[in-house]
Structure 1
């Protein structure tokens, strides 16, 4: 039995059996996850941030205009670079919640808890109430942006990114044209804005009030139209830790007291994306944002960027001063929530997901919480009441198992409080 903190007992290595959150069978025998075997590419190293070294000095700073062919970054080198940007190689100390959300360009937030788990994996000393307070102070908000999904963004980013991705929302709305026959979408946007700014509405309430004006329209399509045409935020208490409420909506402008940025260009977003997720290809960013035709923006920025290539020859762009640690830099275990942007923000996910594990984090539209070992996807995990169950995809070494348990204990100390007692259990995910 190990101690997870004051007043908390954590028991590791307990076998479990039965259905899992993954919809798969858990073996009755406890196991431990094998070391990742991706080859390292640790050439050309210089000092960088987070105690790392960068690929870029020592004669290899990527390709600039008129330079030699772009140097190769193998999956393990890309992995360490991305983990460094994502604050997952070493937790960031002294960085506030709002600054972290800004640096990460938002946190995936379909459900209430994932942003809290995401920050617990990335910030030293994180406390859940810090994010809740930022929401109550309207420094951060929950709003549909990237990939047409709910994200937690800073107020500034919400007002900029939401109009940037309007084209994607328009494409989404096109799927509902049949149910909106005869509906004046401009008038709908005006009416919906008046309704939600008078008082936050649930989607059901908004749908019912719009049906008064268009009784023959498809009710669901009406609510989708309002959501696509307006920058709607989920007002508190929705999203607060331990006291979240139902989804109620108003406009970002009304909630934040200032207008959205009109027609923002993509260039600033490209630089922000590379800082948080690079090195990356044009297609990678398009996957992250849910946008198309971003090549022109990358070409405009090319003189300011370095270029590399991955093992398939795909051109990767990066910021000159961004961290690119050695491929052999240690990467501690990390517990990530479902829909974490680390696993959703590249067209080619091999920098995090090893061959043979593609598709193991999804079942239909459901994503599972994931475990990283040595920087790569190595298993799933779930918490039910006072039990945290770890489901490796393979065998953990003794040292890895101890490190995973220690990381789990830290997660529970952060998110569960110091008084409760929790079990940490290991099982296997059926192939």
Structure 2
């Protein structure tokens, strides 16, 4: 069985994430679909993720996709808000139902003890049936006379993140817009019902998720797939598709699966500097993230820091503050690397339109 070292896995990930070369795809929804969605709990971050991946990306393209309802913000993978295509939201949501409920209950179990999930869901749907968008607080206020004991936050999280498939409506998530979350049922916003799970024992949605995940993140182990989506019941999908997949091993001895014709560039393929947004799935989409970030810096990937890839790996964090784009290396940069970081930072500054007056790399001196 062929062994793939971390550098080979890194280049495979970068190629599939459009981080080796920006894609010429004409629309954000195409790239969002190819990436299996984008982490979006911080509303402005997907714009940076798309700029780093698309040639000539302009913020109005994503604004138009959101207002045109070809992409949607919704709770999905790992119970986090993701930007996904309308089709994927409708096709995947039912498969995530159990996980979403379990994760909310895991956070608020004692607060929600004794609450009948079916009754609460029915009450919430009845409130939302008038087609009016609501904040979480407004929805809770409409049902809390029947469930006065649980804290509002617990009831609200259960309703909007688990029991009722919701879309977070624009202007939330539009470029340079600050707006609270207003929710509407996905089916109402997108004009189509959510695809039901099949009645038999098959799991075509799970198999589709596996194929799509490998196309965007592979080669990868079953544990990586589970870490990305939060679903525990996908070993059956791996088993069902095993004969269609190629199998490798990584440096830790794990079995990795991949699509036969997916790109696996030579490990020596040059990787350009890329600036990534907070919580980018190119980093978070694995259980074993060693292909892209050193173990010593794993905390950076979950703390909301924006990161810089140098030679394909997380090598710095970055931030914008007081008209200054600041870069904090996590390791010493060579003169050539620092030059490349500054050049890409200059392009980013133009995109951000923040009147950035200075690009500063913190050398620690």
Greater mean alpha carbon deviation, residues 219-228 or residues 126-135:
219-228
Does 2:139 match 1:206? yes
Instruction: Please give the per-residue CA displacement for 1:148-197, whole angstroms capped at 9, x wherever unaligned.
Output: 10000000011122211112112124333432344332222122123234
Q: What displacement does 1:273 show?
A: 0.1
Match for residue 234 of structure 1 among 168, 176, 179: 168
Match for residue 85 of structure 1 among 7, 13, 16: 16
How far, CA to CA, are the matches of 1:184 and 1:360 in structure 2? 39
Question: What is the match of residue 209 of structure 2?
Answer: 269
Given that residues 342 and 359 in structure 2 are in contact (C-alpha distance below 8 angstroms), is that contact kept between their aligned partners in structure 1? yes
Instruction: Please give the per-residue CA displacement for 1:329-358, whole angstroms capped at 9, x wherever unaligned.
Output: 000011101100011111110100124333
Question: What is the match of residue 284 of structure 1?
Answer: 224
Does 2:281 match 1:346? no
Instruction: Please give the per-residue CA displacement for 1:217-255, whole angstroms capped at 9, x wherever unaligned.
Output: 332221122121111110111111012411011110010
List aligned pairs for 1:151-162, cutoff 5 A: 151-162=82-93
Question: What is the match of residue 41 of structure 1?
Answer: none
1:403 counterpart SS class:
helix
Question: What is the match of residue 16 of structure 1?
Answer: none
CA separation of 1:360/1:428 partners in 2, compared to 1, >3 Å: closer, same or farther? farther
Instruction: Please give the per-residue CA displacement for 1:127-147, whole angstroms capped at 9, x wherever unaligned.
Output: 011001100001101000001
How far, CA to CA, are the matches of 1:356 and 1:189 in structure 2? 43
Return the structure number with greater relative CO, CA threshold 8 A, min gap 6: 1
Question: What is the match of residue 47 of structure 1?
Answer: none
How far, CA to CA, are the matches of 1:143 and 1:356 in structure 2? 32
Runs of 5+ unmatched residues, structure 1 = 1-69
Question: What is the match of residue 181 of structure 2?
Answer: 247
Instruction: Please give the per-residue CA displacement for 1:66-94, whole angstroms capped at 9, x wherever unaligned.
Output: xxxx2000000000000000000011124
Q: What displacement does 1:397 show?
A: 1.3
Q: TM-score, normalised by structure 2?
A: 0.93
Given that residues 228 and 286 in structure 2 are in contact (C-alpha distance below 8 angstroms), is that contact kept between their aligned partners in structure 1? yes
Given that residues 84 and 90 in structure 1 are in contact (C-alpha distance below 8 angstroms), is that contact kept between their aligned partners in structure 2? yes
- The structure where helix makes up a greater share of residues is 2
When the two chains are superposed, the root-mean-square deviation of aligned CA atoms in Å is: 1.7
Mark the structure with the bigger radius of gyration. Answer: 1
Question: What is the match of residue 184 of structure 1?
Answer: 116
Given that residues 196 and 249 in structure 1 are in contact (C-alpha distance below 8 angstroms), is that contact kept between their aligned partners in structure 2? no
Question: What is the match of residue 69 of structure 2?
Answer: 138
Question: What is the match of residue 51 of structure 2?
Answer: 120
Q: What displacement does 1:429 show?
A: 6.9
Question: What is the match of residue 201 of structure 2?
Answer: none
CA separation of 1:122/1:185 partners in 2, compared to 1, >3 Å: closer, same or farther? same
Question: What is the match of residue 376 of structure 1?
Answer: 313
1:261 counterpart SS class:
coil
1:132 counterpart SS class:
helix
CA separation of 1:367/1:421 partners in 2, compared to 1, >3 Å: closer, same or farther? closer
Runs of 5+ unmatched residues, structure 2 = 198-203
Question: What is the match of residue 359 of structure 2?
Answer: 424
How far, CA to CA, are the matches of 1:428 and 1:267 in structure 2? 47
Match for residue 167 of structure 1 among 77, 94, 98: 98
2:358 counterpart SS class:
strand
Does 2:128 match 1:196? yes
Given that residues 195 and 201 in structure 1 are in contact (C-alpha distance below 8 angstroms), is that contact kept between their aligned partners in structure 2? no
Question: What is the match of residue 49 of structure 1?
Answer: none
Instruction: Please give the per-residue CA displacement for 1:185-214, whole angstroms capped at 9, x wherever unaligned.
Output: 222212212323421111111122221222
Q: TM-score, normalised by structure 1?
A: 0.80
Greater mean alpha carbon deviation, residues 420-429 or residues 160-169:
420-429
Greater mean alpha carbon deviation, residues 106-115 or residues 163-172:
163-172
The size of the alignment, in residue pairs, is: 356
How far, CA to CA, are the matches of 2:287 and 2:123 in structure 1? 38
Does 2:175 match 1:216? no
How far, CA to CA, are the matches of 1:393 and 1:304 in structure 2? 40
Q: What displacement does 1:289 show?
A: 0.5
Q: What displacement does 1:421 show?
A: 4.6
